[in-house]
Structure 1
Amino acid sequence: MPVSRLKDIPGIGVDRMGDLADAAADPELLRLENLDTDLRPPEAALAASRRALEDDAANSYLPFLGQWPLRKAAVARVARLSGVDYGGPEGCVITAGGLSGILNSLLALLEPGDRVLLPAPIYAGLINRVRLAGGEPVFVPTHPTPQGWRLDRDALRGLRGQGIRVVLAMSPAMPSGCWLDAEDWAALAELCRSEDAWLLYDAAMERLLFDGRAYLHPASLPGMAERTVTVGSVSKEFRMIGWRVGWVVGPGRILPDIGLVGIHNVVCQVGIAMAAAAAALTCADDGVAAAVAEWQARRDCLLEEFSELPAIPPAGGWSLLLDCAPLGLSGAEASRRLFETAKVAATPMAGWGPGSERYLRFVFANEPVTRLAGIGRRVRDALA
């Protein structure tokens, strides 16, 4: 039997599908199961990585909370996007990837049993980190529409007075690509203010928005600067998954506690990676606009290929969901059929929020349009 903190924590499915796809070693297999990308990181980041290999200062535990140039760059980024200045490098701690920052923040914000609100479906790793930190996940639904996913604001209003301690939100969300518009953020901010709750903002994909959608940082809303903790990373926007560098930026009343958790959790970050992250955050051309254009083209290709299937359009991010229930299948059964008969690796979403077992995720960040052409026929034949 697992220890109690693990009893309600299943796997995320991605690891199993990734292992199956690796073992197949089939070049014809479409790798749509994992959030990898074939687009290169910024050249400035690659150059900084090479220099850091020869820099003795990069081969160090210190500073425990992250190198000062990177902390300064992360605070400046949040200030630029939100209009909120958290006071220089002291307003930031660096983490070993964004999800390490999420867990460290939850451990610093939650008492055992505290309730954490998450729009769902949402990444299982976020749900399970809430549980690891001793919190209770509470879900507000987002609903699929022909135009994309929409937050259920009526359900959100019904959660007032329910003892929400933290709102954990991501936009665009993973895996759905749900984009929170200005009214959604206003509703979430109102809940935070009325409940005296923290907003833990997962900013991993915040600028990966399609079709000209507007960006809004929730710390810019009235009364939210002092209760918003922003967690970002270089993994998605900057295509630097393997560097494992993230940051937490927020009010001075909570940052020392988050830093203390980090020191006693992962201890420190990847030394040779922090200079590269700082270079990515400060370079003249970070490549984000070009990457977003390419990922939008891949999304558009998939939506065209899936025009006869119940696929929900994502507003941004790296993936889209197919609703397998109208096909009479679960996401797990659809995934099995696609892998065995169509040479398509896609991950079922069981455990990614209430009702998520009906969905199958397709990641379009790692396969070019030329490889995606014809996938619609393969999927329809396999799932017929």
Structure 2
Amino acid sequence: MKPLSERTSTFTDSVIRRMTRISNRYGAVNLSQGFPDFDPPREITDRLAEVAHEDFNQYAVTWGAPNFRQALAEKQSKFMGRPIDPDTEITVTCGSTEAMMAAMLTVADPGDKVIVFSPFYENYGADTILSLADPIYVPLVPPTYAFDPEQLEDAFRQGAKALILCNPSNPCGKVFTREELELIADLAIRYDAYVITDEVYEHIVFDGRKHIYISSLPGMEERTISCSSLSKTYSVTGWRLGYIIAPPAITDVIKKVHDFLTVGAAAPLQEAVIPGLRFGQSYYDEFAAMYQRKRDLFLAGLDDIGVLHNVPQGAYYVMMDISEFHYDSDLEFCEDLARLVGVGAVPGSSFFHEPVNHLIRFHFAKQDATLNEALNRLQDLRKKMPVK
């Protein structure tokens, strides 16, 4: 038989989702794949129960049910600081995963160059490959995950058509400062490039920081494609509700791509989540405070164990240094960690373009009892894990 497509041979399955399967195999506390083990807001689940008996069982409008888009536009207009047209600027997608893929296919032709900060959420690498674009990686250097402005401009000089910006960042928890965003914006404008954002953690920022939408900076609204999701904000990762906000001319193309990727997101779930979109500011303040408390609990536990880690500024991930164990493979370390210690993590090498093999990623989107159980198991880390 003829060979299958070459593009699919250049990346693996998701290492994150693989580590969930490995965690389940060994009964490990799963701090690998980033989903909560607590319930969504009651207002949303109560509405879901009602929707099951209402007339929302057939296709919604391909690019999103009108009432969902209206509620989303009202919410995001408030947070993004400008009026958003629900009819001409919003495309509802099957999670931010499809949103990013649709954005890439809208912007990039085969051979176009796209800048990706490294470390990066693993899907971005696959997105560039599937869209036949050529990634240019710009390192974010641990432990602060800052970038070198000269390296970034050099990437733009190579003719980059777009830059992917995850802010707050998965996997490292970096929140880009206004100064950093202004530098990126200046380069995007100077070199006439698009910015594709992944802002699914927009409401999870710590220590008094504010999430700044790069689209709000001067000259950036017309060249920014803002991708996000309701998964993290309302603890409904299984609902797969994402969206893209972009200028009308770009949205017109995104809608076409989206239509032939998935047709549309689940109609009952679009209706059910509307009460969440109408929450007041207090929900988002309490939501961020909850995650900061979980971060502080988990980091204090890691400090008690005496392991090295970064301090995330946003999102719900932390990178831990495993250098002391001298593993040649961080994937092997994570498999042993699940099997011998009973805690699931993701090897850092799945996020870096550079040969980084000494970091692993935990997430702390769990009940306190779950985090404490993981920390209790990690107390025996040095007893149970072999030093290579």
TM-score, normalising length from structure 1? 0.92
Q: Deviations over 1:306-329 (max 9, x none)?
A: 232221111111211113345422
- 1:270 matched to 2:266? The reply is yes
State the 4+ residue runs in structure 1 displaced beyond 4 angstroms: none
Give the whole-Å Cα distance in 1 for the aligned partners of 2:287 and 2:210.
17
Report whether the alignment pairs 1:370 with 2:372.
yes
Q: 1:20 to 1:119 in 2, by over 3 A?
A: same
Aligned to 2:257: 261
Contact 2:24 2:30 in 1 (8 A): no
Three-state SS of the structure 2 residue aligned to 1:229 is strand
- For 1:3, the equivalent position in structure 2 comes to 5
Relative to 1, partners in 2 of residues 1:357 and 1:84: Cα closer, same or farther, differing over 3 Å?
farther
Alignment of 1:161-240 (within 5 A): 161-240=157-236
**Hey, what does 1:54 align to over in structure 2?**
53
Task: Tell me which moved more, 336-345 or 109-118.
Answer: 336-345
Aligned residues of 2:20 and 2:33 also touching (Cα < 8 A): yes
Q: Residue in 1 aligned with 2:29?
A: 30
The aligned amino acid for 2:256 is L
The offset of 1:97, in angstroms, is: 0.8
State the shift of 1:351 in Å.
3.1
* 1:71-90 correspondence runs (5 A): 71-90=69-88
SS of residue matched to 2:196:
strand
Task: Give the secondary structure class of the aligned counterpart of 1:90.
Answer: coil
Secondary structure of 1:167's match?
strand
- Check conservation: 1:86, 1:251, Cα contact below 8 A: no
Matched-pair contact (CA < 8 Å) for 2:136–2:155: no
For 1:127 and 1:19, locate their aligned partners in 2 and report how far apart those are by CA, in whole Å: 22
| Amino acid aligned to 2:347 | P
Q: What SS class does the counterpart of residue 258 from structure 2 fall into?
A: helix
**Match of 1:289, SS?**
helix
**Which residue identity is paired with 1:12?**
S
Which deviates more from structure 2 when the two are superposed, residues 29-38 or residues 148-157? Answer: 148-157
Partner of 2:358: 358
Cα gap change, 1:293/1:86 in structure 2, threshold over 3 Å: closer, same or farther? closer
In the TM superposition, residue 383 of structure 1 has moved relative to its aligned partner by 5.7
Structure 2 match to 1:338: 337
Which of the numbers 300, 320, 323 marks the counterpart of 2:321?
A: 323
Aligned to 2:132: 134
| Deviation larger for 249-258 or 7-16 | 7-16
Query: Which residue number in structure 2 is paired with residue 68 of structure 1?
Result: 66
1:143 aligns with 2:149: no
Cα pair 1:160 1:194 within 8 Å, conserved: no
In 1: Cα distance, 2:31 partner to 2:344 partner: 5
Retained in 2: the 8 A contact 1:301–1:373?
A: no
Count of aligned pairs: 378
CA distance in structure 1 between the aligned counterparts of 2:217 and 2:7, rounded to whole angstroms: 35
- 1:162, distance to aligned residue in structure 2 (A): 1.1
Moved more, 107-116 or 337-346: 337-346
The SS at the match of 2:164 is strand
Distance 1:161 1:341 in 2: 48
**In structure 2, do the counterparts of structure 1 residues 89 and 357 end up closer, same or farther at CA, with 3 Å as the change threshold?**
farther
C-alpha separation in 2, matches of 1:210 and 1:379 = 28
SS at match of 1:151: coil
Partner Cα distance (1:318, 1:297) in 2: 11
1:47 is paired with a residue of what secondary structure? helix
> Against the structure 1 CA distance between its residues 342 and 372, is the aligned structure 2 distance closer, same or farther, given a 3 Å change threshold?
closer
Q: Whole-Å Cα distance in 1 between the matches of residues 112 and 196 of structure 2?
A: 14
In 2, Cα distance between equivalents of 1:291 and 1:82: 18
Aligned to 2:13, the other structure's residue is in SS state: coil
| 1:200 Cα deviation from its structure 2 partner | 0.7
How far the C-alpha of 1:377 sits from its partner, in A, is 2.0
C-alpha contact (below 8 Å) 1:335/1:348 kept by paired residues: yes
SS in 2 for 1:74: helix
Q: Are 1:280 and 2:289 matched, yes or no?
A: no
Q: Distance in 1 between matches of 2:280 and 2:78?
A: 15
Tell me if structure 1 keeps the 8 A contact 2:200–2:232. yes
Q: Is there any run of 5+ residues in structure 1 with no aligned partner, and where?
A: none
Percent identity between the two aligned chains: 23
CA contact (8 A) 1:30 1:367 kept: no
Question: CA 1:12/1:263 → structure 2, altered by over 3 Å: closer, same or farther?
Answer: same
Which shifted more, 112-121 or 373-382? 373-382
Q: Deviations over 1:60-117 (max 9, x none)?
A: 1131111011112222333222223233432111111111111111111111111111
**Contact 1:86 / 1:250 at 8 angstroms: preserved in 2?**
no
Deviation at 1:167?
A: 1.0
Preserved contact between residue 324 and residue 358 of structure 1 (Cα < 8 Å): yes
Q: Is the 8 A contact 1:78 1:249 kept in 2?
A: no
Cα deviation for residue 244 of structure 1 reads 1.0
> Cα RMSD (Å) of the superposition?
1.9
State which drifts further: 184-193 or 325-334: 325-334
| Higher deviation after alignment, 47-56 or 251-260 | 47-56
For 1:201 and 1:286, how far apart are their aligned partners in 2? Answer: 25
Letter in 2 for 1:113: G
